[in-house]
Amino acid sequence: MAVDELQYVPKVEARARARKQLGRIGVLTPHFTADSFVDRLRGIASVLDGLPYELVVYDITTRAQRDRHLATMALTNQVDGLIVIGLPFDDDVAARFMASGMAIVQLMTKTQPFSHRVSSIVVDDGQAGRMAAEHLLSRGHRTVGFVGGMAPPDTANTFGLANLDGFRQALALAGIPLPDAYVSLAPFSLENAREQAHRLLDLPDRPTAIYAASDTQAIGVLSAARQRGLSVPSDLAVIGFDDIEIAEFIGLSTIGQPLKESGRRAVEFLLDQMADPTRAIERVDLPLTLHSRLTT
Amino acid sequence: MAVDELQYVPKVEARARARKQLGRIGVLTPHFTADSFVDRLRGIASVLDGLPYELVVYDITTRAQRDRHLATMALTNQVDGLIVIGLPFDDDVAARFMASGMAIVQLMTKTQPFSHRVSSIVVDDGQAGRMAAEHLLSRGHRTVGFVGGMAPPDTANTFGLANLDGFRQALALAGIPLPDAYVSLAPFSLENAREQAHRLLDLPDRPTAIYAASDTQAIGVLSAARQRGLSVPSDLAVIGFDDIEIAEFIGLSTIGQPLKESGRRAVEFLLDQMADPTRAIERVDLPLTLHSRLTT
């Protein structure tokens, strides 16, 4: 099926021109109120500000919603172009969008299922885990913990453990084990992250450092440390992932991904495609940066 | 015009039933990535989770966009019901929505122009300012500053100064002046708030306490204090407004408004209206609560 769709290019162009009349860009995202998604949306909105496009965000929670949207959005005339954030995607879905002439860009982690037939912006969360481990090792930590997310059943997005795998790999290379008791996974929330940290800090040989798979969760960990009277970083070092906007303002050490920049690039790819539907597929792998601030 | 529209009720019911087929709730909001809006969206999403409605967020930036949406959304069949957050609204607009049979709820501050013909959820930001002043006075502060927002030109929402007015009033009642040099207004951002705080802290007789008109801005103020080596709260007390989700986790003192609850109530009002378009107009005034934590 996929190859046949490529024959539709002239039709695609005609439809793309017709679609332009809507002046509407869509974003399909699960958990759109998580801080990292909000920062990506800020990047998207910053490019559209001043352009004759309005931004419409579709909040996707269940798998059924996700599948329905991916099946129908190419056919219904709701938006001129679509940015899909953090949702798995395959070649069949990609082919449907290409056939319809709707511009589409994916923004996801490296280990999520995705299609090479659509332009994409990719973050390597396994690399983030490795960088966090290397930073904590370089600070002399030998007993470390991991606070991460876990997808509830029937959730729209897949929740990779690449971040944890990378963290564990880099520790193993240094001869440091990460026993299961030092790994806490729970559905994403500040409250859960604080409880997860308390559980790790209750261990008889408690960790001297915790890597949280997001800055939001790292803020939960910092709150647990304060509740226990632990000084950060001398009693407990904390590092997050994302570099959300407030991270710098609260002095949080983190592995940064350029969240706003990724939103900006996504919408730029989309506008390029809308201007020229025959444009080559592009892929950007986002750079990651260690920000060592006050918490490590 | 307004009164005539009330004759349309039977037509309204028929249309409301037809609209239900969309299964789509819209939110019209400016600055949808500001933390307080995100918390309201979290409340809205929490009610819709599990219901057969999808949530669509329209990001409104300019006045032209706002006016176009308010003029056309009642006529175009895009959503079954609409929550309008922080946008001025009048009886003409309200009448248009009532005539179309589209359910609508407003969520705004007390001093924004709004229509009594539409159900609304209202926060009294003047009261927030008074409560912040009273708290700082009770802590013994006599030289205080204010860090607040300012709308850029051509922005969609009005940006009231009720918060500042309430703050100033309560100080005046206690015989404490708030000279203009101690009031800093700038477009809403963390960066700006940090700079605004630095400007106040550069004053020869520097404030011993700062009230920021949002928690986000308060985080900017805290960052400025840290950059200057000031201890919080002994050298500088900081209080915010909103009680965004992370406020408790970072120990920020704040005047809390029930953000998530307001989103929940808004969508409940909307669903009630959609079920019964003849339902009486409702209004909720949100309670405010002082949360005295680590920063005052």
Shared domain check, A96 and A49: yes
Q: Which of B41, B56, B220 is facing A56, going by the closest CB pair?
A: B56
Judge whether B154 is closer than 8 Å to chain A, CB to CB: no
DSSP element (H, E) containing B85: strand B81-85
Greatest alpha-carbon pair distance for chain A in Å reads 67
In a domain, A294, yes or no: no
B108: three-class secondary structure by DSSP: strand
In a domain, A70, yes or no: yes
pLDDT, one tens digit per residue, over B145-156 is: 999 988 766 666
Give the confidence band of B226 by pLDDT, cuts at 50, 70, 90: very high
Judge whether A57 is closer than 8 Å to chain B, CB to CB: yes
CB atoms within 10 A of CB A111: 16
Give the confidence band of A182 by pLDDT, cuts at 50, 70, 90: very high
Shared domain check, B132 and B88: no
Alpha carbon of B219: minimum distance to chain A alpha carbons (Å): 7
The CA-CA-CA angle for residues A10, A97, A47, to 5°, reads: 95
Q: Which residue in B55, B59, B238, B245 has the most chain A C-beta atoms within 10 A of its own C-beta, making it the best mutation to test that interface? A: B59
In a domain, A295, yes or no: no
Distances (CA, A) of A51 to A276, B62, B65: 17, 11, 11
Parallel/antiparallel/unpaired status of strands A24-30 and A81-85: parallel
Q: Quick one: pLDDT at residue B286? A: 93
Question: With a CB-CB cutoff of 8 Å, which residues 203-262 of chain A face chain B?
Answer: 216, 219-220, 222-223, 226, 245-246, 248-251
Query: Which segments within B86-197 are labelled E, that is strand?
Result: 103-109, 119-123, 144-149, 183-186
Q: Which of A57, A249, A251 is facing B57, going by the closest CB pair?
A: A57
Q: Which residue segment(s) compose the domain that B142 sits in? A: 125-256
In a domain, B154, yes or no: yes
Cβ contacts of A42 on chain B, cutoff 8 Å? 33
Highest mean pLDDT out of A54-58, A79-83, A148-152, B71-75: A79-83
Give the confidence band of B76 by pLDDT, cuts at 50, 70, 90: confident
Q: DSSP of chain A, one letter per residue? A: -HHHHGGGHHHHHHHHHHHGGG-EEEEEEESTTSHHHHHHHHHHHHHHTTSS-EEEEEEE-BHHHHHHHHHHTTTS-S-SEEEEES----HHHHHHHHHHT-EEEEEEETTS---TTSEEEEE-HHHHHHHHHHHHHHTT--SEEEEEE-PPTTBSS----HHHHHHHHHHHHTT----GGGEEEESS-HHHHHHHHHHHHTSSS--SEEEESSHHHHHHHHHHHHHTT--TTTT-EEEEEE--HHHHHTT-EEEE--HHHHHHHHHHHHHHHHH-TTPPP-EEEPP-EEE--S--
How many domains, chain B?
Answer: 2
In a domain, B54, yes or no: yes
Q: Are A255 and A131 in contact (CB under 8 A)?
A: yes
In a domain, B292, yes or no: no
Give me the CATH number covering residue A208: 3.40.50.2300
Residue A147 pLDDT exceeds 80: yes
Peptide bond into B233 cis (omega under 30): yes
Shared domain check, B166 and B98: no
Shared domain check, A114 and A41: yes
More confident residue, A53 or B3: A53
**ipTM of the complex as predicted:** 0.86
The structure's pTM equals 0.88
Helix axes A91-100 and A63-72, enclosed angle (nearest 10): 40
